[in-house]
Amino acid sequence: MKTSRIALIWAAALAVAAWTAVSPARAEDRILKMTSAGLGTEIEVDMAEIRAAYEFDRSAPLNVVIEKEAEFLPSCVKISFSYDSPNGGRVPASLIMPKPHIGPMNPARSTVEGALPAVFFMHFHVSDKSLADVFAPWTGHGIAIMAIDGVYRGDRAEKGKDVLMDDPALSAKHMQEQIRDILRGFDVLASWKGIDPGRLGYMGISMGALTGTAATSLDPRIKSILLADGGADFSLMFRHSDYGDMQEIRKYMETNNMSPEQFVDMFKFVDPGVFAPLLNDRAVMLMNGKNDTTISVPAMEALHNLIDTPRKGVVWYDSDHILPLDKVVVDSLKWFKKSL
C-alpha cells in the first residue's frame, strides 16, 4: 500500500512538472520559460548553462581512422571508421557512400559542385549503427548516410552498462555524452571529402530522436531533420510509458525519495522540450505511431506542438512504438528529397 501511495504521489507531481508550453524562442535567447501543467507556474531554463554542457574544443583533431571499405550494394560502398569522442575514447561509425557514377540528389541545390547531400542516422535504444544499413538503398538516389554506435551500444557495449540506467543522474549523463558524440559526428560528416557541408540532414529513431533533437538544435548546419518515435517532456514520458527501463528509473526515484524538482533539473540538459523550439527555422518531419506506449502519445504531441516551423511535416502510422519500417524507408526518402 505504501509503495502504491508513493507511486500515486509521484504521478501527480510529475503532472505538475510537465512542460506544456514554451515562450517564443530563438537560438540566441538566454532564458526559456516553460509553463508547467496544472498550476501554470513557469520553469526558467538558462540556455547559457545548457549550451555550456555541450562545449568542447571543435578545433581538436578528429583523428578519423578508416578500418574497412567494401562494396555494400550495387549502388554503394560502406566505410567503417572511428573518430575521437569529446567524452574520451572512440566513436565507432560507418559511412554508406553512393558509388562514383551516382551524382548528388537534386544537384541544383548543391553548395559544392558534385558533392553529395548526407544524412546522419542515429539508431533507437537497443540497436546500433547497423540499423542504418536498412536505408542503404537511398544511395541510389544520390544521398550518403553516416551512422554511429550510441553510448554502450554496438562496438561500444560494456557489460552492465547502458545509456539508460536505474539512476536517473547516470541516464542524463549518458544521454549528454551521446549528444556530444553526435555533435562531433556532424564535424566528421561536414569535413568528409565528397560530402556537401551545406546539405546535411539528420534522422533519429526513438533514443536517436530524443538525443537528436538536442544535437540538431545546437548545430545550424543540419538543414533537414526527421524525428521518428520522438517526444518531449520526460515527465510526460515517465508518467505514461510502459517501457521497462523508464519504469526502473521511476522506481529508483521513488525508493530514493527524489523530488520532481530534482528530476526536472537533471533532465533539462537532455529533454527535447528544452531544445525543440530552437528548430523553428529548420525543416522538420515528425513520424510517430498512434498506439505508442513507450514514448507515449502525450509526449509525442508535446514535441509536435513545440516545433512551430512552417516547414513541418507530421506522419502518424497505425502502429505502436515499432513503426512499419518499409514505409519509413520510403517516406523518409521522400522527405529528404523534398527538404534537403
In a domain, 284, yes or no: yes
Amino acid symbol at 299: A
Would you say 71 and 77 are in contact if contact means Cβ atoms under 8 Å apart?
yes
Domain count, the chain: 1
Quickly count helices (H) and strands (E) in the chain. Answer: 10, 12
Per-residue pLDDT tens digits for 102-133: 999 999 999 999 999 999 999 999 999 999 99
What distance in Å separates the CA atoms of residue 205 and residue 208, rounded to the nearest whole number? 5
Residue 183 lies in a domain: yes
Q: Which residue reads 516547414 in cell numbers?
A: 311
Residue 6 lies in a domain: no
Q: Report the distance separating Cα 135 and Cα 232, nearest Å.
A: 26
Triad 196, 275, 207: Cα angle to 5°: 75
In-domain check, residue 36: no
How far apart CA 340 and CA 327 sit, in angstroms, is: 19
pLDDT band at 287 (very low <50, low <70, confident <90, very high): very high
Helix (H) or strand (E) holding 178: helix 168-191
* pLDDT (tens digit per residue) in 10-28: 343 444 344 443 333 444 4
Strands of the 42-46 sheet, one edge to the other: 19-22, 31-36, 42-46
Range of the domain at 301: 64-339
Residues 309/279, Cβ–Cβ less than 8 Å: yes
- Global pTM reads 0.89
**What pLDDT band is residue 2 in, cutting at 50, 70 and 90?**
very low
- Split at pLDDT 50, 70, 90, the class of 267 is confident
> What residues does 70 pair with on adjacent strands?
78
- Considering only CA atoms, which of 115, 173, 177 is closest in space to residue 150? 177
**What is the DSSP secondary structure assignment for residue 324, as one 8-state letter?**
-
In the three-class reduction of DSSP (H, G, I as helix; E, B as strand; rest coil), residue 14 is classed as helix
pLDDT for 75-107, tens place per residue?
999 999 999 999 999 999 999 999 999 999 999
Q: What is the CATH number of the domain that holds 305?
A: 3.40.50.1820
Closest CA to 64 of 162, 6, 146: 146
Tell me, yes or no, whether 40 lies in a domain.
Answer: no
Is position 56 within any domain? no
Model confidence at 233, pLDDT cuts 50, 70, 90, reads confident
Residue type, 147: A
Query: Would 30 be classed as within a structural domain?
Result: no
Q: Is residue 5 part of a domain?
A: no
The DSSP string of 44-90 is EEEHHHHHHTT---TTS----EEEEEEEEETTEEEEEEEEE-TTSSE
